[in-house]
Structure 1
Amino acid sequence: MARPAPVKRVTSPANTAIKAVRALAYKKQRRTTGRFMAAGERMLQEALDCGHRLETLVIHPDTRDTGPGRALETACRNAGGEVMEATEAVLAKLVGRENPPGAVGVLPQPWQQLDDLPREAARTWVVLDGLRDPGNVGGIIRSAEAAGASGVIALGETCDPFAPEAVRASTGAIFAQRLVRCRWRAFTRWRRGQGGSLVATAMHARTDYRAAAYPGPVFLLVGDEHEGIPAEHTAACDQAVRIPLHGRAESLNVGVATALLLYEVDRRRAGP
């Protein structure tokens, strides 16, 4: 059996291997490599608990001496990955902020295909239509996991859920949710074979989301806060629902609105 490679000690952010990890902050590099970066011991342990493989681990020596740090190193080594011990300055460069976490990892992007998704009535899917804010995307993935949804489908120009801001906002839920990226036409063609209901959120819809019916499987279509859902996409839905607003607020954050809808669907399934 081959012995694991020795741990590299890195003190310069200009190190070639560190620059390759840092490049995953950019969408082009993530798409080219099929990899992404996640930061923090708890985040990386969540990835391992969900069955994901840690290909590269950059870890501070103090973290390496802790139980969680040793567990991450062991998992990375057992998967044939590379472990680098790095200074705080190097880790700060990787995550782009001061006071960095003690560990940063590189993992494969766990995309799935539409045809691989389970076909069951008692499922809820969130469909993101052109969302531009990675923080919102990550927060929605977190809400989807908390509310028992089965996954998130990113349509068209929806921003990358593996962007560092989205991964951080998901607080680890990105490792538990099924994720698919596709075009609107491919989604609608696939969805026709699933049955259930495609439900759009629209400010001027007549139906209050609390009064709507949600036959499953449920596909909740949500759009960008500024652009909304394209009119032709809303027209293709089985129904559109609104969330009533009071006071002077003109709209809700899309993540908050999605969470309300997710929990309404969950409440209906739970029964009285």
Structure 2
Amino acid sequence: MPEPSPVVISSAANPEIKALRALESKKGRSEQGAFLSEGLRHVVEAVRRGWRVRRLVLSESAGSGALLREAIEGCRAGGGRVLTVTDELMTRVARRDNAQSVIAVIEQRWAPLDTVRAGPGVTWLALEGIRDPGNLGSIVRSADAFGVAGIILIGHTVDPYSTEAVRASMGSIVNVPLVRLDEHGYLDWHPGWGGRTVGTHLAASDRPESITRGPPTLLVMGNEQSGLPERIAVTCNHLVRIPMRVGADSLNLAAATAIMLFAVAAPADA
């Protein structure tokens, strides 16, 4: 196989690097319709899942091997370009000292609303107004682990394709379909959802273990500060409260969501 690139890029002023750095901002990601994913294993997972890799950026010390060849071939098969940069520049692009040796620019995907369908054992997750990208990425990771069919992002939820969210997802971002809706869109759509809707609420008396697994389920979780707004909570036909020690502060949203996913969606073969 020929070398990934005959020229090793060393300057941050290179147009390819500028386009790469632009993906650090929400505006840049929106304009390019792409995001950054770091790490060879995560890039190969994206290739295997059929995601289009527009650019594959390798550091000089990336080495070789079957997985790297698979990533390169997957990138080129989709019409993408493979670039090689100095280790120093890779550190600057990644903005951390322990930078990965492989970074990919991957085309974003958004699933249409009509993919959200009820079915036996199917669980969808809806998140309203999530503010913290680390929380969102961790939730995507949990959703992947528990076999969730996809995630509906309601209202002003943080960008799931931000670098922090993608990092926190540990590669799961390419395994979990994402749907975007504003609040009015969700409220208009929800009456047609064919399954039950479960949410968490401080005023609820039931506990997560009261939920039976199996029926099609939409789990709805609110944001880190205020939880579910009442206009969303009233769409739930089952509200539960996660028990905690008296005097304890609220759970981290990612932890609370993982607990609820275990209650409603733990795979039968786990």
Q: TM-score of the superposition, structure 2-length normalised?
A: 0.92
3-state SS, counterpart of residue 36 of structure 1: strand
For 1:7 and 1:194, the matched residues in 2 are separated by: 54
For 1:189 and 1:122, the matched residues in 2 are separated by: 24
Contact map agreement 1:206 1:242 (CA 8 A) in 2: yes
For 2:125 and 2:263, the matched residues in 1 are separated by: 13
Contact map agreement 1:40 1:103 (CA 8 A) in 2: yes
Q: State the number of aligned residues.
A: 268
Contact map agreement 1:194 1:217 (CA 8 A) in 2: no
CA-CA distance at 1:152 after TM superposition: 0.8
Q: Per-residue CA shift, 1:198-254, capped at 9, x if unaligned?
A: 212112322212114567321111111113221221123212210000254221111
For 1:106 and 1:17, the matched residues in 2 are separated by: 11
**TM alignment of 1:122-161, pairs within 5 A:** 122-161=121-160
Report the residue type matching 1:105 in the other structure: A
**TM alignment of 1:90-105, pairs within 5 A:** 90-105=89-104
For 1:16 and 1:266, the matched residues in 2 are separated by: 46
Q: TM-score of the superposition, structure 1-length normalised?
A: 0.91
Corresponding residue for residue 170 of structure 1: 169
Q: Per-residue CA shift, 1:89-143, capped at 9, x if unaligned?
A: 2211222111210011011111111113344232111111001000110110110
Report the residue type matching 1:207 in the other structure: D
CA-CA distance at 1:188 after TM superposition: 2.9
Identical positions, percent: 36
Corresponding residue for residue 259 of structure 2: 260
Contact map agreement 2:143 2:261 (CA 8 A) in 1: yes
For 1:28 and 1:229, the matched residues in 2 are separated by: 28
3-state SS, counterpart of residue 220 of structure 1: strand
Q: Per-residue CA shift, 1:4-37, capped at 9, x if unaligned?
A: 9955421012211101111111111111221111
Contact map agreement 1:196 1:215 (CA 8 A) in 2: no
Structure 1 residues without counterparts, runs of 5 or longer? none
Q: Per-residue CA shift, 1:25-60, capped at 9, x if unaligned?
A: 111111122111111111101111222121101101
